[in-house]
Structure 1
Amino acid sequence: MIKLLILDLDKTLLRDDGTISKEDKNAIQLCKEKGIKTSIISGRNEESMIDIVKELDLFKSVHIGVNGAILIDYKNGIKELVTIDNDVYSFLVKKFNEENRDFMPLNKDGYFYDKKGPLYEDVITWIKEESLKKGDLSTLKDCYRISVRFENEKDLEHLKSYLPKSMYGTVDRNVYDIRPTKVNKFTGLKELMKHYNVTKDEIATIGDQGSDIELLKNTKYSFAVKNASEDAKKAAKFLLNKTNNENAVSEMIKIILKA
């Protein structure tokens, strides 16, 4: 029996224009009426998720942010699960500055930048511009993630060449999101499982890309949207016929309710 529904946001629940379809909203509401708890799992932080949480009337639920680095309880506060070692962070920032790279770190205080480059322009497509913070990136502590731009595959391989073993990255367009190796979305889900007292066989998950792989691999009822990456499709137990623009979440919910 499925007791918990876990929803990825970008390119999964959210359509390409950033909205949620009426069909998907109604399906999520139906799950709630049937007693299935619903939580969001995302690479976003608590600030960039809150409007969506309110829209779906999930303010009382606990959610997973920054790809598993934090547990978000809007009523009782944020629980940090994993942060980047400060010495590792300092090393990476030094390298990025030497190579004049466009990068933005994230910690409990939000997203930081020192210049408005292409990465900044990308980030403000999904987070409010006024919430971004200008500052000295070298002095930040306890960051969850560093997003850094790269030019091409050769440049990406160069980035990977000096990435410490304690860190790994996932690619979205020309952005390499770097985080501690010991954190992923399933790391966060394990904490959420404790909170809700459920097992991984009582959870339905849905995703679309590399950051969802561990989540999809480690849950019994895992779904990949039609527009998912090939790696995500291989990790999922079920493949959907619809994309994020075609009510894929609603399709998944119909399947799990029949089951």
Structure 2
Amino acid sequence: MTLPFKAVAVDMDGTFLDDNHEYDAKEFDRILTELERQNVQFIVASGRPYARLKEDFKGFTDRIDFVSVNGARLIAHDKEVGLTPMDKELVLQLIDYVTSRYPHVTTMVYGPKRAYLLASDPKEDKAFLSYFAKDTAEVASWQDLPDKEYVEITFNCSGKEAHAIETGFNNEHGQVISAFGSADFAVDVNAYGVSKATGLKEMLAKFGLTSDDLIAFGDGGNDVPMLKLAKYSYAMENGMPVAKETARFVAPKNTESGVFKVLQKYIDESK
């Protein structure tokens, strides 16, 4: 027998990683080797930027591919193969819209290579958000953003606010953004139509594969599009209700190596 899928897509926080933001590298190497033996592609699909993911998967980057910043930037074999940015003017309009309605949020803006924080924001909030970006810089004002284009904005407000932010802003400016509650405490915003699903479709096509060949694991609102896409979709037991309502199956908790357990079960059954 062979595995019923040809590609694996995993979210990071709350899914592949435990609550200490770690994973068992030795176990991953063992499972990845078996997947490679059966010609299965391994894709990390995350809201994190590639700068952070490259560090997370040090020693593995030549063996896996990345749908980063929720599908806005695609990396294959350490090379950018897809980019869907927002221009600076749109970013500034969105930040003004959100902060005027949610004045206590801390904001992080992701450029293709570096993320930016406001220097005046609380130190502890900046430290927390900086972890997810890896490479950050501070600006005195959002007007000082140096790049022309950006791939994602993260607001540290309730994930439940994502729909209100998306619909409210799009009602004023046209269909220009997509917003996801990536966690209970964060909203991720990308260019309209960008999602992990769109990024995965593009990546799968490069391998000559379709959604019927995909198994996907996620726990948050930003995972819903890829869970809808994948033929074999798993929400983590610890996941947000919207993820569990969308997925076909439930995997054990991220703290119990749920992704590894499900993949190992398929591997055992394929022998």
Q: Give the TM-score, by structure 2 length.
A: 0.82
Structure 2 counterpart of 1:37 = 41
**CA distance in 2 between partners of 1:168 and 1:210 (Å):** 12
Equivalent residue in structure 2 for 1:59, among 44, 58, 62: 62
Check 1:156–1:216 CA distance in 2 against 1; reply closer, same or farther (3 A cut): closer
Q: Does 1:104 align with 2:114?
A: no
Check 1:10–1:195 CA distance in 2 against 1; reply closer, same or farther (3 A cut): same
Check 1:23–1:226 CA distance in 2 against 1; reply closer, same or farther (3 A cut): farther
Q: Does 1:253 align with 2:263?
A: yes
Q: Tell me the CA shift for residue 54 of structure 1.
A: 2.4
Q: 8 Å contact 2:159–2:180 — kept in the other structure? A: no
Structure 2 counterpart of 1:137 = 142
Q: Does 1:78 align with 2:80?
A: yes
Structure 1 counterpart of 2:208 = 197
Q: 8 Å contact 2:165–2:179 — kept in the other structure? A: no
Q: 8 Å contact 1:111–1:133 — kept in the other structure? A: yes
**CA distance in 2 between partners of 1:109 and 1:38 (Å):** 23
Deviation string, structure 1 residues 62-102 (Cα, Å, up to 9, x no partner):
31100110111344x22343212444223223445667553
Q: How many residues align?
A: 253
Q: Tell me the CA shift for residue 61 of structure 1.
A: 3.1
Q: 8 Å contact 1:112–1:134 — kept in the other structure? A: yes
Q: CA RMSD in A?
A: 2.6
Deviation string, structure 1 residues 188-215 (Cα, Å, up to 9, x no partner):
0011011111111111111111111110
**CA distance in 2 between partners of 1:92 and 1:127 (Å):** 20
Q: 8 Å contact 2:8–2:215 — kept in the other structure? A: yes
Q: Does 1:235 align with 2:251?
A: no
* SS of residue paired to 2:150: coil
Identity %: 21
Paired residue type of 1:145: E
Q: 8 Å contact 1:206–1:224 — kept in the other structure? A: yes
**CA distance in 2 between partners of 1:157 and 1:200 (Å):** 26
Q: Does 1:244 align with 2:244?
A: no
Superposition map of 1:205-224 within 5 A: 205-224=216-235
**CA distance in 2 between partners of 1:167 and 1:152 (Å):** 16
Paired residue type of 2:194: V
Unaligned runs of 5+ in 2: none
Check 1:192–1:80 CA distance in 2 against 1; reply closer, same or farther (3 A cut): closer
Q: 8 Å contact 1:207–1:216 — kept in the other structure? A: yes
Superposition map of 1:3-14 within 5 A: 3-14=6-17
Deviation string, structure 1 residues 202-229 (Cα, Å, up to 9, x no partner):
1111111111111011111111111111
Deviation string, structure 1 residues 9-56 (Cα, Å, up to 9, x no partner):
11111111111125454323322233222121111111100123224x
Unaligned runs of 5+ in 1: none
Q: Does 1:19 align with 2:22?
A: yes
Q: Give the TM-score, by structure 1 length.
A: 0.85
Equivalent residue in structure 1 for 2:72, among 65, 69, 76: 69
Q: Tell me the CA shift for residue 161 of structure 1.
A: 6.7
